[in-house]
Amino acid sequence: MAKKEVKKVVDLGHGVGRRKTAVARVYLREGEGKIIVNGRDVDTYFANPMLVFIVKQPLQITDTLTKYDILINVVGGGPSGQAGACRHGISRALVENDETYRAALHTSGFMTRDSRMVERKKYGQPGARRKFQFSKR
């Protein structure tokens, strides 16, 4: 009985993207342009076409939409934060694979982490900035 040949998957690059409270681990592989997010296709995972567009932006800028397969594990946050984290992670993975993409991705602003976070709620207040109604009498 012959042994089955096991095809070893080689990651060309990987990157971690972050946005708000979402963290995306991105793995870049040789392929024909499939993007899998948490085991599902990118179009079914992100129901909103705008979020799918955000995820694919780094690939469109570098003209690599059909060059790589991308596997993404994303946790935390909501759909918008997860899409931004995926974009950041894909950009980092592309640069790790090919340094020539850095200039185009950096000028588009995909290499920098968007540091805007939700402000924390303070004690003695109903929200982060909101105060209880003042009563003179």
Whether the per-residue pLDDT at 1 is higher than 80: the answer is: no
Share of the chain above pLDDT 90, in %: 88
Specify the DSSP element, H or E, that contains 29. Answer: strand 22-30
Q: Are 125 and 131 in contact (CB under 8 A)?
A: yes
Residue range 11-107 forms a domain whose CATH class is alpha beta
Q: pLDDT value at position 71?
A: 95
Whether the per-residue pLDDT at 6 is higher than 80: the answer is: no
The residues spanned by each domain of the chain are 11-107
Whether the per-residue pLDDT at 7 is higher than 80: the answer is: no
Estimate the share of the chain in helix, then strand, then coil, as percent rounded to the nearest 5: 35, 25, 45
Q: Are 71 and 25 in contact (CB under 8 A)?
A: no
Whether the per-residue pLDDT at 25 is higher than 70: the answer is: yes
pLDDT tens figures, 34-82: 999 999 999 999 999 999 999 999 999 999 999 999 999 999 999 999 9
Q: What 8-state DSSP symbol labels residue 100?
A: G
Task: Please give the average per-residue pLDDT across 120-131, as a whole number.
Answer: 94
Backbone angles phi and psi of 112, in degrees to 5? -95, 140
